């Protein structure tokens, strides 16, 4: 039987956030598109990442609020957590979103979907389960997979990753989490609020990529809920726990050890490009992913790479979706594009949330030196935060010559609040535009207006010149 040959305008490898965005956008603009996916449509974000993690966090938040109502004068009976039912909520959230990412929807749009593994056979050809695709342009959007560190004993010891933890139907009695980044801490809080004992073990500093001042507020809140967070503890070995309880034992280099019923390895993710036979297409890649230029092209000019598969780009779902738009502009309209990440936001969805756009204070200080102005606005100054008992938080604004260059927020709804500063930095707005904004009262959004206004306060209220002008005008009647 001869192989089928397809000659689309665009061939997209990977049906995660980035790949789906490219495929749907391109086909609706009139391009012919082949989409290849060996696993589940929707990729990690839908099936094992963003959606299930936020759904589990929501279940944990419901349990936490039910038990913490006394400060508002609301007292209920003992809170009972049905862990399996919480996982049913996670599955229901995935199922509700899945049709939007389904094969049926994309075929309805006009995309040819191949459920198979893709392999480059040359610089302009890919094979997938008996089909040859000779496209004008290709897009690699294969995402990433959990990175498992080479710790002695880990490979031989049963452990969980971000891809498998959502399959648990029974609550771990004691969950050990290796890694204090976003994934590790989100899962720590979700499981703690659902009744599990949790210990997080981090080799360096928990939330190490974030501003220490902001991270400390989030970490204090997690510790206050009973989560043990151990920093500066590099894992030395993993093995079975002592009889008769069994489980898993994790030891660190200084001799300390912890025993738990389950171990979650959350030490980062690695690009998933194995099996693509990139060499046959002249595509350079290393451990960081496929190498791309500023326009997201690989060393083969016919081929783009986006999302977690591409080296050096922010590994966020929203980043992959944004890159998809750039690829469409370049591949379909031949327009020049640049993957400028100056205004790329991020968020950690613990409670309180932590969000940032632009550099941290230390990074901005290294770039701008004494020109940098740092503005701090505590959540305790927000009437809305006081009313809702959510005063643990801080907005930190980084300003150079009257323009915001970075913002970090820890506190309630930080992931929502960072959107304004993402717009302001991306559009290179002056602080006057935010200071002049009318924010409804009382809202947490007033914090951003207050931060912008704080830049002008000393220039208005402490200026001798302003005082002289006011007095002069008063004398003139």
Query: Binding site: which residues?
Result: 54, 179-186, 202, 268, 308
Binding residues for NAD(+), as ranges, are: 179-186, 202, 268
Ramachandran angles phi, psi of 267, nearest 5°? -105, 25
Distance CA 291, CA 370 (A): 36
- Collect all residues with Cβ–Cβ distance below 8 Å to 80 and sequence separation of at least 6: none
Please give the Cα distance from 313 to 432 (Å, whole number).
32
How many whole angstroms separate alpha carbon 199 and alpha carbon 217? 18
Whose CA is closest to 59, among 410, 351, 262?
351
Give me the DSSP letters along 19-49: HHHHHHHHHHTT--EEEE-SS-TTHHHHHTS
H/E stretch holding 218: helix 212-224
Instruction: Report DSSP state, residue 160.
Output: B
Bond into 442 cis (ω within 30): yes
Q: How far is 209 from 184, CA to CA, in rounded Å?
A: 14
Q: What tokens appear for 119 in the block?
A: 């392999």
CA distance linking residue 403 with residue 434, whole number of Å = 10
The three-state secondary structure class of 359 is coil
Task: Let me know: does 163 contact 157? Beta carbons within 8 Å.
Answer: no
Q: What is the CA radius of gyration of the chain?
A: 25
Question: Both ends of the chain: CA-CA distance in Å?
Answer: 97
**Cβ proximity of 114 and 193 under 8 Å:** no
| Chain centroid to CA 193 | 21
Residue numbers belonging to the annotated binding site for FAD: 54, 308
Q: What is the DSSP letter of 172?
A: -
Environment class of 85 (CB within 10 Å of its CB; exposed 0-12, middle 13-18, buried 19+): exposed
CB contact burial 148-157 (16+ within 10 A = b; e otherwise): eeebebbeeb
457: Cβ contacts below 8 Å, ≥ 6 apart: none
Which tokens hold the place of 323?
Answer: 């890159």
Q: Please say whether the beta carbons of 148 and 163 come within 8 A.
A: no
Taking the C-alpha atoms of residue 60 and residue 81, their distance in angstroms, rounded to an integer, is: 9
């Amino acid at each position: 039987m001869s192989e089928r040959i397809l000659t689309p305008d665009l061939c997209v490898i990977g049906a995660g956030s980035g790949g789906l965005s490219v495929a749907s956008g391109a086909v609706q603009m009139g391009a012919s598109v082949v989409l290849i996916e060996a696993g589940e449509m929707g990729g990690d974000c839908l099936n094992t990442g963003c959606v299930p993690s936020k759904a589990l966090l929501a279940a944990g938040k419901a349990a936490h609020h039910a038990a913490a109502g006394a400060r508002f004068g609301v007292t209920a009976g003992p809170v009972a957590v049905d862990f399996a039912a919480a996982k049913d909520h996670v599955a229901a959230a995935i199922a509700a979103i899945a049709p939007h990412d389904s094969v049926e929807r994309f075929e309805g749009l006009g995309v040819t979907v191949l459920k198979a593994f893709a392999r480059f056979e040359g610089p302009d050809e890919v094979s997938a389960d008996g089909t040859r695709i000779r496209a004008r342009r290709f897009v690699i959007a294969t995402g990433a997979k959990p990175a498992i560190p080479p710790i002695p004993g880990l490979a031989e010891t049963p452990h969980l990753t971000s891809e498998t933890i959502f399959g648990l139907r029974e609550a771990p009695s004691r969950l050990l989490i290796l890694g204090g980044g976003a994934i590790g801490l989100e899962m720590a809080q979700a499981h703690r609020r659902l009744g599990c004992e949790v210990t997080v073990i981090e080799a360096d500093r928990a939330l190490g990529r974030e501003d220490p001042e902001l991270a400390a507020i989030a970490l204090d809140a997690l510790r206050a809920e009973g989560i043990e967070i151990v920093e500066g503890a590099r894992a030395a070995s993993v093995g079975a726990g002592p009889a008769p309880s069994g489980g898993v034992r994790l030891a660190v280099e200084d001799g300390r050890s912890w025993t738990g019923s389950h171990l979650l390895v959350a030490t980062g993710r690695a690009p998933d490009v194995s099996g693509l036979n990139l060499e046959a297409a002249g595509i350079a890649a290393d451990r960081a992913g496929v190498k791309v230029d500023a326009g997201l092209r690989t060393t083969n000019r016919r081929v783009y790479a986006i999302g977690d598969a591409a080296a050096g780009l922010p590994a966020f779902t929203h980043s992959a979706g944004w890159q998809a738009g750039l690829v469409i502009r370049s591949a379909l309209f031949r327009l020049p594009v640049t993957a400028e990440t100056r205004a790329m936001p991020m968020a950690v969805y613990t409670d309180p949330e932590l969000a940032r756009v632009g550099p941290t204070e230390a990074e901005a200080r290294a770039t701008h030196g004494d020109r940098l102005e740092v503005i701090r606005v505590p959540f305790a100054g927000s009437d809305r935060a006081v009313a809702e008992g959510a005063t643990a938080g801080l907005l930190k604004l980084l300003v150079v010559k009257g323009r915001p260059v970075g913002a970090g927020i820890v506190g309630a709804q930080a992931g929502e609040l960072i959107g304004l500063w993402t717009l302001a930095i991306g559009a290179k707005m002056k602080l006057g535009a935010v200071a002049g904004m009318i924010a409804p009262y009382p809202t947490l959004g007033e914090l951003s207006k207050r931060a912008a206004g704080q830049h002008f306060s000393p220039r208005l209220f402490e200026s001798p010149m302003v005082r002289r002008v006011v007095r002069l005008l008063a004398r003139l009647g």
